[in-house]
Amino acid sequence: MKRIILAALVALSINFVYAQTKKPVTKTPAKSTSVKVGTGPKIGYIFEDYIFENYKEVKKLDEDIKKKQDTYQETYNKMAIEYQTLYLDYQNSMKNLDSMTTERLNEKLRKVKEVKSASENFQREAEKELQQFTGDGVVRIKTSIKTTAESIAKEKGFKYIFTRNKADGPMTSNRVVLYAGDKGAGNISDAVLARMGSPVVVKK
């Protein structure tokens, strides 16, 4: 998003310069022009980390992730116990070879390997599913924030909305940090949260 906005600004600058250079040269003295203060594009921002801390859908996603983790862990623990039981039984059988046929011993070993393989496969698939679920949830939340910010920006007449973090400073890498002397006038974080059903109650 930042790169798109910056590219647009650069493009506007290039077009402006190009338009100026294309004007024919005239002998008419240039008229003095006055620049009106405060007529530039209105720029606002959101504190992305602040919104993530207070948006109810983020909290719900955290809860859903934990539930899935607990469910996966419970299933895996059962498989692990089954594996340990079968493996211990196989080990004991190895100590009493006289009372165990080769076919029976091989059958026990086969079951041990099957359960071990099944538990490993389950663990891999569970991790993949959890990552996919988390990723989809984050994308959904970011899309909701973006859509809401765009809606509020249009209502309030903002030309551009940037993302920041509360702790960002002028030297923060990969961040667009605006001059903070606006006393929060350009900060629409609370408006975005309220629009998404997660109003922040200011403690007095």
Q: Is residue 87 part of a domain?
A: yes
* Tokens found for residue 186: 């350009």
| Rounded CA separation 97/87 (Å) | 16
| Rounded CA separation 163/177 (Å) | 8
Q: Is residue 1 part of a domain?
A: no
Q: Which of 3-12, 18-27, 193-202 has the highest mean pLDDT?
A: 193-202
Q: Is residue 3 part of a domain?
A: no
Amino acid at 171: M
Q: Which of 142, 116, 120, 137 is nearest to 52 (CA)?
A: 142
State how many domains the chain has.
1
pTM: 0.66
Domain that holds residue 58: 43-195
Residue 26 pLDDT exceeds 60: no
Q: Is residue 76 part of a domain?
A: yes
For residues 14-34, b (16+ Cβ closer than 10 Å) or e, as one string? eeeeeeeeeeeeeeeeeeeee
Q: Is residue 22 part of a domain?
A: no
| Rounded CA separation 62/78 (Å) | 25
Q: Which of 176, 182, 157, 188 is nearest to 42 (CA)?
A: 157
Q: Is residue 19 part of a domain?
A: no
Amino acid at 38: G
> What are the pLDDT digits (tens) for 68-92?
999 999 999 999 999 999 999 999 8
* pLDDT score for 39: 62
Contacting residues for 94 by C-beta, under 8 A, at least 6 apart:
105
- CA 167 to chain CA mean position, Å: 18
Computed over every residue of the chain, the mean pLDDT equals: 79
Q: How many CB atoms lie within 10 A of CB 66?
A: 10
* pLDDT score for 167: 79
| Rounded CA separation 117/74 (Å) | 17
Q: Is residue 5 part of a domain?
A: no
Q: Is residue 12 part of a domain?
A: no
Q: Which residue has the higher pLDDT, 130 or 98?
A: 130
First to last CA, the chain: 36
Do the beta carbons of residue 51 and residue 163 sit within 8 Å? no
> What are the pLDDT digits (tens) for 156-193?
888 888 888 887 776 677 665 444 455 667 888 899 99
**Residue 18: pLDDT band by 50, 70, 90 thresholds?**
very low
